[in-house]
């Protein structure tokens, strides 16, 4: 018997989670009953934050939010989605440049399991340039990221890079 709830999975690397991800998750919650944030266990990538750290960070960002779950997965995303009872994969589309890769993935996932639908959501325009990779780069080079990530991520970035930011003049320089 099913619960009658529509469960969605929001998969990704989340290294680290950004305000763009949070925006998509909020949109997902406005449509679906439950969203599982699923972190890919990818031994080929050299992440900044370990999987455990990413689980903790996201858990802290969503403390007390019963409709959000945080989990990790390996193998095929559609198999994981089916295992947890999710019928929807949510992905964010920031710009046309995202489209080709996302379209390919969505159609491959549909080929693998036609019972699982991919839904694309667009973040606020102000996040259309935002990515985890750029957040890490900007922070390491002394730029301010407080408008780009939740406070827990900024704190964890400071723990990873404790020293003062590199010298330089910038309007949005980290203090």
Which residues contact ligand PNS (rule: CB under 6 A)? Answer: 11-13, 40, 76-77, 105, 108-109
Minimum Å gap between C-beta 10 and ligand PNS is 9
Minimum Å gap between C-beta 67 and ligand PNS is 21
In this structure, are strands 7-12 and 34-40 parallel, antiparallel, or unpaired? parallel
Minimum Å gap between C-beta 17 and ligand PNS is 10
Active site residue 94: yes
* Residues 82 and 116: beta-carbon distance below 8 Å: yes
Active site residue 132: yes
- Closer to ligand PNS at the Cβ: 69 or 174? 69
In this structure, are strands 68-73 and 88-92 parallel, antiparallel, or unpaired? unpaired
- Closer to ligand PNS at the Cβ: 105 or 144? 105
Active site residue 45: yes
Nearest alpha carbon to residue 54 among 68, 66, 69, 71: 71
* Residues 5 and 33: beta-carbon distance below 8 Å: yes
Three-class SS string for 124-167?
CHHHCCCCHHHHHHHHHCCECCCCCCCHHHHHHHHHHCCCCCCC
Catalytic residue among 21, 54, 69, 156: 21
Closest residue (Cβ) to ligand PNS?
A: 12
- Closer to ligand PNS at the Cβ: 76 or 124? 76
Which residues does the annotation mark as catalytic? Answer: 21, 45, 94, 132
């Amino acid at each position: 018997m099913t619960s009658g709830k529509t469960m969605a999975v929001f998969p990704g690397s989340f290294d680290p989670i950004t305000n763009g991800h949070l925006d998509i998750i909020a949109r997902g919650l406005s449509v679906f009953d439950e969203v599982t944030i699923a972190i890919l266990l990818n031994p080929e990538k050299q992440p900044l934050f370990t999987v455990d750290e990413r689980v903790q960070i996201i858990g802290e960002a969503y403390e007390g939010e019963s409709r959000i779950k945080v989990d990790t997965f390996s193998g095929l995303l559609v198999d994981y989605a089916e295992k947890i009872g999710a019928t929807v994969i949510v992905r964010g589309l920031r710009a046309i440049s995202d489209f080709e890769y996302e379209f390919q993935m969505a159609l491959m996932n549909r080929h693998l399991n036609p019972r699982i639908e991919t839904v694309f959501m667009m973040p606020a325009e102000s996040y259309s340039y935002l990515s985890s990779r750029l957040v890490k780069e900007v922070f390491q080079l002394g730029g301010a990221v407080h408008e780009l990530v939740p406070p827990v991520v900024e704190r964890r970035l400071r723990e990873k890079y404790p020293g003062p930011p590199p010298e330089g003049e910038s309007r949005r320089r980290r203090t």
